[in-house]
Amino acid sequence: IMDTSDEWIRERTGIAERRWVEPGTTGAAMAADASRMALEAAHVEAREVDAIVLATLSPDHCFPGTGVFLQRELGLSPVPALDLRAQCSGFLYGLSVADAWIRSGQYRTVLLVGVEIQSTGLDLTTEGRDMAVLFGDGAGAAVLRGSEDTDRGVLSTHLHSQGEHAEILWCDASASYRHPRITAEDLEEGRHYPRMEGKEVFKHAVQRMPEVVGEALDANGLTASDIDLLIPHQANLRISQMVQRRLGLRDDQVFNNIQRYGNTTAATIPIALHEARQQGLVKAGDLICFVGLGSGLNWGAALHRC
């Protein structure tokens, strides 16, 4: 459907496969599937969920957010549902919110979800191939619950943004500052499709991601050698490999699955965490580090002791 090749895509991104939804599939339904899997794995009943935090850049509707539709899908009582727009760092931002809610005592059990349907909003022509080959659809979820064991759980989260670089990865239209929000000219010029300055994003990612991991480690008196598993946002395998080298980590200390799913934005980290658990790579007592950077620019890291 465009002038590209499997070899070209693999060489530049590491991606060999990606999943795109069938027509009629909603983000809320995908989020519900992932949530049920997470609840089952955590041995938590849906009725025990006190709040939902849902990260996505591709909501089912302009408004309301997808979180309320997830709440309806799961048949939950009228618990709060907060949608976050932090793009590729969405799960990390959501983790920080959920952690703060639990630490403050406001909620005990928080359902955290990252979900994206991006395939329906891509330019599937040769002109749009630099973006279209990268993105997949998917959903992942985690259950956070308060505990008296201070040696386990989320140790700390570290978040940053730099809006001066917002336009190097963005989607301009439709936009409320426009009068009207979208025009025939916008559609003709493709302003409703995401655009990226790939080299600039790569440069920032390989700098900021190791920096923020170091920030998290320093805050907890740890070093990179203490990390049992680094789970980076799955944007580009070359980025993950460069971050690994700059942190001095071995191959067995880093988990990547972008080869199978592409970039599922807010869903990449929870999907990767789920697969790492399935493969026995996450064990009690392990130190897990999550890190990501994306549109905004937003980036962050978190440390979790299993």
Q: How far is CA 27 from CA 80, 160, 235, in A?
A: 18, 27, 20
| Contact predicate 126/282, CB 8 Å | no
CB contact set of 78 (below 8 Å; sequence gap of 6+): none
CB contact set of 294 (below 8 Å; sequence gap of 6+): 86, 87, 88, 89, 169, 233, 235, 265
In Å, the largest CA–CA distance within the chain is 57
DSSP category for residue 135: B
Q: Which helix (H) or strand (E) holds 34?
A: helix 27-42
Active-site choice (236, 256, 257, 263): 263
DSSP-derived 3-state class of residue 167: helix
Closest residue by Cα to residue 139 from 197, 90, 173: 90
The β-bridge relationship of strands 109-116 and 153-161 is unpaired
Q: Does the annotation count 88 as an active-site position?
A: yes
The residue behind tokens 């936009």 is 175
The β-bridge relationship of strands 51-55 and 109-116 is parallel
Active-site choice (88, 256, 274, 304): 88
Active-site choice (158, 204, 233, 274): 233
| Contact predicate 143/38, CB 8 Å | yes
Q: Does the annotation count 263 as an active-site position?
A: yes
Q: Which residues are catalytic?
A: 88, 233, 263
